[in-house]
Chain A
């Protein structure tokens, strides 16, 4: 017995020696890596993707957009620097399972083990907010996409930049549209998901509505994952002029369906996130007349002429080319999530080109000064109180209408300059 124990001890000692040896060898390898990288000018872009869990649809589109950008920029020979070298990009990513806890752990790993030079955020405000802390802590520039919440940029971060129009401006356009469609409208009901993003949106909407003289007759939140909206619909006072709110895809489409089934009568229904999705049309009649704010739609008309009129530079791919190449590669038309992923990469490309370097400080200075037009719209960041907040980009509002063949089609109805059709009132049966 004692003899076997002795042998066990010896074996353990040998094993621990071997392990220590290999880990040292690994450390040496790692130390040698950055030097080799600098010569090749290969930049690692790190991010997590929600390949599983509740965000997998939107996150996948975002990653598709980003990968399309990366393929294109690398195929074009990368970003040329003043010293004659070219910067090429490699992606390094993990699945975050749509969970906050995983995000922080994985971003730390991306920075420390995978030596990511720049970071792209995961999809959704909650996950992006969790990842931004890590980016700032380890002094890496992060471009957030799929994340509209304002609050992330009020925490004093200096290296986090937003591509989406912030939540505080999300539904304001729909309210402007309502006052245009019916100047006599005066009450709205707000029913929203109780997550970070939707709460930010509706709080700002409430303030905006009240400042415009509207009465908010109901203001109530529902838990993420809610499937039965009857209790909320029953609480909406009869005769409200508009119902606004919603949250993410699943809950918002359910809400729209049940509003229709209940035969609720109102003039406008404007909901978050779900309406711009093509899948929303599966709701059939329940989708008709629903309005939704979108970051981007394939119909938008951003181009070099518009940029010239505004006195800013147009950078990168055209709207038509982006739509064409994305559709060819992924066999589905791009959504605003896809455009967000693409533009996140495009911004980095532009900033590195302007800075003429991949140095964090220099790229940061280029981002701070950036004011450009892209296929996705204008990009400009707040550099004062809410550093990194997107202040250049504007939303468009879409509405589901019927074409001559009675098929449901998505039309841009706001702002008027970008509109592809006239808005119609919401008809419930």
Chain B
């Protein structure tokens, strides 16, 4: 009984201490902001997927967004807002798919069951490239144009920063979480630009 109580107390304490917001700012060695980086911290996914619509649109012969992060098991819709057809595909292991999307076709979707990176392209328009990163945590955010990502209410744990063009092993860095309330500044060397 005492053991159970102390365990409970320990859980409560760690729970209180852990829930906090983490701000991460990603820049190149030259100090330029790095957008489209996925910042994540560990966490348990809910048993059933959250009721969120994830979208990888095609518009003006580009994918939008360039980088999308989704939890494992998420459904992603692929609306084609162009008047020409697109043939969207990925050869990603465990997440391979292809969709022939006619002009203005809005309804098609794909469920991504395996975690990992899903580079996607269009068979008709070679310049169309984007990335979907499937993660096993609910705590993952893509950096904005200022290179900043804010993760709310996360538990303690290492911070992973991934970018499709990062010059790093597996395109990512793994860093210690910042001290309470402070911003973690990350320098990430990336090649090429969207």
Whether A associates with B in a native complex is: no
Residues of chain A at the chain B interface (Cβ within 8 Å): none
